[in-house]
Structure 1
């Protein structure tokens, strides 16, 4: 670990005063004292952060966006897919989310708050609900000696409760999908360790879909006398949303015995007109409950009920439906005896059941994946809780078996192990939906397999369902494809069937068209929503009707983007290489040919190399690029290379010759137009800034390496030039930026100052940096790759307080953009690179800065 890294990590725990490190807390992960305060307070990117020259260049966009925003918010009463006027402020509070994949999420803060909610699919709200708490009660010889809400907060409500736990005696530790909170109870010689477990298990397509989380409380009694210990779990019926007061919500106790195991708890039925659901708090042994209490006022009655004997009254029967304007909550208490100098444990479950969902347009009903196993009637919460409490140990065994080889690899730094697993939070908390394919669905786009298209219901979607996640919690578009290109490594490595399901959905969208004309905000011109035989930007907005209406993004007409088609082709072969699914390759081949044919039109001069069109026509949608470019030109050559490989595998010699000849021509032109002796120029326009150093210039080569290509017949770039380009990026974009401590800036001038020609060239994109680091590792530059990625992890997780909300971008100072973003899942590309090369080769081939590349 670097010196600056050691200090950064230590700062998070500097206020922890106890020596107790909890029960079973692992060494690796992200750890923070509950009393920690982050010194740096950043602001979201706003219009005032744009330079004058950029303002003048984009004044038309600004006027058109303002008009569109006003119509969307004030007339249609809908949420903009990107709200440039109401970016989320930075709340430095978030911890690991609860729940499996695609059933909705509830995020807990690292101080224990229930504070970020996504139960309605894809739609977030950020409300901390003060009454959602765990409380501990200690009793000795029949008398309560200590009762405390395990929260450092002092809310203005619930004044009858004992708040203000001293955060210096507690810390939080996350190693997703588990997290631990350790509380050393001052003056009591008792330590509580709350272990939070969610069923997020690679290659598991059943339990990983469940909307449940388990809280295991390990209680250590270090006294010379026995203690009775009770834990109370309180939960409001709702999520802090305004519909909590809409009326008609009610609670009821339940008891379920099955297979020799009994579970009891309270069901909280939340009954809005759209997407009703049931919350469930449950436990296994010595359960007492309070079916309903009002979470306003002092709530002294509930507090006194627990303090009397460590139990709650446990009334029978349901609560009456709430009146409009009122809220209702429930409480569950579980107790046990902890002998002197000994240990015991208690278990709780939180489940939520919203089996049927509609998106914002309310045109279609969708069924969540977990209903395949627990039914879609809305009565699954007891069974979900029972299953979770009787199976979580097996989940943990599977999680430990998956994580152990990486955690025990002493050659990998601790920060990397934390980053790799904790960044996976977005798979669950990316507004994620995982639904069953309707029986009457046709994903082929109308072009069937016998005509060069797809099956109406591909087997992988029929068996494993449909999957969608947002570009970001603030950038509300599902499966944004230019960004998924980076993030997809997490899916293809851990849940490959979901990755293939996404690809089939995208392939079906390729052959579709939507001729509806609409205004695109950057150009001010009208063009069709979707053009046939091009990859869509996204599959829709959850506030509309995803899958049915694609391309929610309307800043540019992405039919003219240069990267989307190529990213589809590269992912098809990468996925085949990792899965060896030949049926998938055969199904995708005609779609790949179609999008490559569409891409050919961008080669304006017939030299085998595509040209960018003088605007921001790729994933860097605010950074103008003209003519052949390092980024898109490199993706093009890499795509030609994998098309050659696929043509050989499918015994199509004619297409092999076409792509081979184009690749040979294009490679010559790419070298001639862009290589400057050290790296590939940003573009070939001859502008003042065309020779900027782009951190992402080797993206095409990265995918070749990730696909087992890049050498011999199937390479697109000379190895010595790739190495030289990576060395230049490391020396300039990494080490000459922010002291080498913040990752790689997107654009850097050869003289060592950031390219400030656009907002995006002056940013660090965390997901791009992880991809760059993977490329370096593929080329044997392990030290450089790890140092490059380390800067991003430490900046986001240790300096800026952005844990579990990694943004798309930050600048060297002051600002960030788009919290909780998809692209940083690309860190799993680093693991693929590490898996690909034996470690002894990696360490032998490390390139030292300042020395000549071999």
Structure 2
């Protein structure tokens, strides 16, 4: 199952075996790809058209969405919908490890070396490749330049004086987030260059992990018999990947930092004058013995590039300007450069660092009049002058960061019981923590001083936890622009719970504040038509808002459904509250959440239409599968209900609420009887009890409730005994169901190489009654694999998850943009999605956290 070599054909392996031996310090584990690689599946397209039989459930919402889109766009041409189904993002098979920490904006550097995806503005993506953003090498022998090459495989129409002829067959890329390596052989030069990219993404670190910077450590190795002079030049356009890139008013200037406590560094500052969020970008090189640092504040990235190219070629250095440039006029492009030059003896090796740091300390959301401070400003200030300090701090601290990263990753990477592909995917899927439109904000202490137009949940005193650790948000996806989408975060949150638990708690506090409050302003409801209140009392919001509006203030950007009656959101809140208590063992946290948990469970009980203790679905798509109709008692929502009841029993016990404990225990007893009677068919739990043609479909994600409570220690192990009235599902039924899903949804679907299809019929054919029933959801597959591992089906779990890795990293080029879903046909949906972070639930299971029993106190 799945090694790195599966990415390549036999001839490619043989051709590159020698190349793969080169490169300074490149680890064995990770995602490795030659720069001339072509993915087998190149025709993947966004958003499949529904089958004819699926249209009856979708025609109305398609019609209403289209006219809603037209009306809003006509009124405001700059408006963007929270999901733009009419303009989906097309697949580009180019992305690599993003740069920067958490919540500070990100820049993605692709596996071919391009700076190709920008998210410096909060929650807004640009896919503009700036051709000037490159590294160039100059080799000189006996005082003459013998080789000068842009280290890129592109052939642009601009910068025509530059040498763009590098052969991609001489280089490879290796990704292991938050680091990446690119190894270049220089043909005919006997020189190898290794670029190591490092970003400050550090588990359990709540300072450095927020820093907007990355360092490129270049290692040059001379395999020849004579000494050479090497120069490395880093060029960068004054841009942030936004509509302001050519708006004028930008300028560059040199900088130098020589302060106690940090390494001396100099370079170029690129001042970018965005209309509401100015940004300064620093390109810097630390001063080290034997390395000459030079730079240029100005060249035209839209021209031929002749001046700077010839300047480097002349003597392997750039000029060292002392004055700022003039401000640009509208339509004018501006770029700067830094250069490190050094001698490299025969057999020698030399390291030099380049740092890229950006300072956009204050942000405004598109629909907001408020200004927010990014989290890193607590240490680096908010006046917009921190870029030099950030650059100096980065070059001084990155060795410590790398030691922390290696100590964190090494036990997993060295564990030979984990498949090689899994060790790679586990860390690389974490890219979304920095590149998920992520924001990490300093919270304001309301404490009675609030604006009247704030919603009720923001008029209360800000919880101390949010004040201490900040307000954190990441989007549902690059295309699904909603912060902290709760039904999806339910799966992804294992990554935060394991690595940055205080940020997970912050998200929980933010949601908890909204539950007992309401916002009675009106929004359209596109699934059925009509209008709905933005937020109803005793309900968990679907999301905390759209960056094109004002998140945290205006929640529920999602207007496809009225999610106040979604069956899963309230239940997932209870499950995550208990899971987070399981992580932190904080009874104060649990006590704060208790009245909110009671309120959402009280509302959920109103969905029990026949008074048997089991909640019923409404006959609509009223849960995370928002286009898959479900009616009556259902395996998915019913299982979540049982699991939430079990958590309420345990929470009540921990908090000494004996009366409530007995209440929830009694409801659970009735509910599990109904669940078994209505849904168990002797092999697995039916999709629902409606009696429709697909009622007995096999659902990949049906067992999510049991998965969660097993993860939280609420299911006994084989050698443990628990009171029978506290057992939720018979374990033999759980195992039988998982084996049925594995045999049908995994192994009978594309020979087990695509993950778990959401729905399968008992006859071994896909359930095609819904667009979503025939999709593979990447995050659901990872969660299913985690559940299998927790039940002892370890090999089956890895085989299940391998299908996602195979499709995303080997076949389709989805790396660092893992979609929500794909079909057996050549279609995908929603690139760059949150839910695949559920792979960390697999690691949770593998580390045996589910075996740590909760002890009541």
- SS state of the match for residue 16, structure 1? helix
- Tell me by how many angstroms 1:715 deviates: 3.0
Conservation of the 8 A alpha-carbon contact between 1:190 and 1:220: yes
Q: Does 1:281 align with 2:283?
A: yes
Q: Does 1:792 align with 2:791?
A: no
Conservation of the 8 A alpha-carbon contact between 2:712 and 2:849: no
- Tell me by how many angstroms 1:644 deviates: 0.3
- Name the residue aligned to 2:685: 680
Superposed CA deviations along residues 503-536 of structure 1, whole A, max 9, x for unmatched, are 0000011122111222200011222111011000
How large is the RMSD of aligned CA atoms in angstroms?
1.9
Alignment partners' CA distance in 2, 1:91 and 1:7: 21
Q: Does 1:804 align with 2:816?
A: yes
Conservation of the 8 A alpha-carbon contact between 1:809 and 1:817: yes
Alignment partners' CA distance in 2, 1:175 and 1:610: 44
Superposed CA deviations along residues 18-70 of structure 1, whole A, max 9, x for unmatched, are 53421000000000000011131244444x61111222332221121111111
**Runs of 5+ consecutive residues of structure 2 not aligned to the other structure:** 717-721, 852-857
- Name the residue aligned to 1:64: 64
Superposed CA deviations along residues 324-355 of structure 1, whole A, max 9, x for unmatched, are 11010001001122221121111000001000
- Name the residue aligned to 2:825: 813
Q: Does 1:405 align with 2:411?
A: yes
Aligned to 2:602, which of 597, 617, 621?
597
- SS state of the match for residue 406, structure 1? helix
Superposed CA deviations along residues 543-589 of structure 1, whole A, max 9, x for unmatched, are 00000000000000000100000000000000101111121111111
- Tell me by how many angstroms 1:280 deviates: 0.9
- Tell me by how many angstroms 1:144 deviates: 1.3
- Name the residue aligned to 2:854: none
- Name the residue aligned to 1:634: 639
Alignment partners' CA distance in 2, 1:480 and 1:14: 46
Conservation of the 8 A alpha-carbon contact between 1:197 and 1:392: yes
Shift of the 454–13 alpha-carbon distance from structure 1 to 2, 3 Å rule, reads: farther
Q: Higher mean Cα deviation, 36-45 or 190-199?
A: 36-45
Q: Does 1:508 align with 2:513?
A: yes
- Tell me by how many angstroms 1:838 deviates: 11
- SS state of the match for residue 233, structure 1? strand
Conservation of the 8 A alpha-carbon contact between 2:643 and 2:728: yes
- Name the residue aligned to 2:335: 329
- Tell me by how many angstroms 1:440 deviates: 2.6
Q: Does 1:264 align with 2:266?
A: yes
Aligned to 2:842, which of 802, 807, 830?
830
- Name the residue aligned to 1:343: 349
> TM-score, normalization: structure 1?
0.95
Alignment partners' CA distance in 2, 1:652 and 1:10: 62
Superposed CA deviations along residues 90-118 of structure 1, whole A, max 9, x for unmatched, are 00000000000000000011000000000
Conservation of the 8 A alpha-carbon contact between 1:471 and 1:477: yes
- Name the residue aligned to 1:699: 704
Alignment partners' CA distance in 2, 1:624 and 1:49: 18
Alignment partners' CA distance in 2, 1:45 and 1:163: 32
Q: Does 1:7 align with 2:6?
A: yes
- Name the residue aligned to 1:22: 23
- SS state of the match for residue 96, structure 2? strand
- SS state of the match for residue 351, structure 1? strand
Alignment partners' CA distance in 1, 2:436 and 2:109: 15
- SS state of the match for residue 264, structure 2? strand
Conservation of the 8 A alpha-carbon contact between 1:139 and 1:229: yes
Alignment partners' CA distance in 2, 1:453 and 1:315: 50
Extract structure 1 runs of 4+ deviating beyond 4 A.
9-15, 441-446, 451-455
Superposed CA deviations along residues 738-773 of structure 1, whole A, max 9, x for unmatched, are 011111000000111110000000000010000000
What pairs up with 1:488-527 in 2 under 5 angstroms? Answer: 488-527=493-532
Conservation of the 8 A alpha-carbon contact between 1:453 and 1:587: no
Conservation of the 8 A alpha-carbon contact between 1:15 and 1:33: no
- Name the residue aligned to 1:141: 142
Shift of the 417–547 alpha-carbon distance from structure 1 to 2, 3 Å rule, reads: same
Superposed CA deviations along residues 445-476 of structure 1, whole A, max 9, x for unmatched, are 99xxxx99997222211111000000000000
Alignment partners' CA distance in 1, 2:100 and 2:259: 23
Conservation of the 8 A alpha-carbon contact between 1:443 and 1:457: no
Shift of the 2–819 alpha-carbon distance from structure 1 to 2, 3 Å rule, reads: closer
Q: Does 1:481 align with 2:486?
A: yes
Alignment partners' CA distance in 1, 2:374 and 2:55: 44
Superposed CA deviations along residues 695-739 of structure 1, whole A, max 9, x for unmatched, are 001100000011011232443111000000000000000000001
- SS state of the match for residue 244, structure 1? coil
Alignment partners' CA distance in 2, 1:637 and 1:290: 65
- Tell me by how many angstroms 1:178 deviates: 0.1
- Name the residue aligned to 2:658: 653
Q: Does 1:575 align with 2:580?
A: yes
Q: Higher mean Cα deviation, 101-110 or 291-300?
A: 291-300
What pairs up with 1:522-601 in 2 under 5 angstroms? Answer: 522-601=527-606
Shift of the 585–322 alpha-carbon distance from structure 1 to 2, 3 Å rule, reads: same
Alignment partners' CA distance in 2, 1:452 and 1:128: 41
Superposed CA deviations along residues 282-311 of structure 1, whole A, max 9, x for unmatched, are 011221000111112211110010011111
**Runs of 5+ consecutive residues of structure 1 not aligned to the other structure:** 840-854
- Tell me by how many angstroms 1:9 deviates: 5.6
- Tell me by how many angstroms 1:366 deviates: 0.5
Alignment partners' CA distance in 2, 1:247 and 1:373: 31
Aligned pairs, number: 833
Aligned to 2:792, which of 780, 792, 807?
780
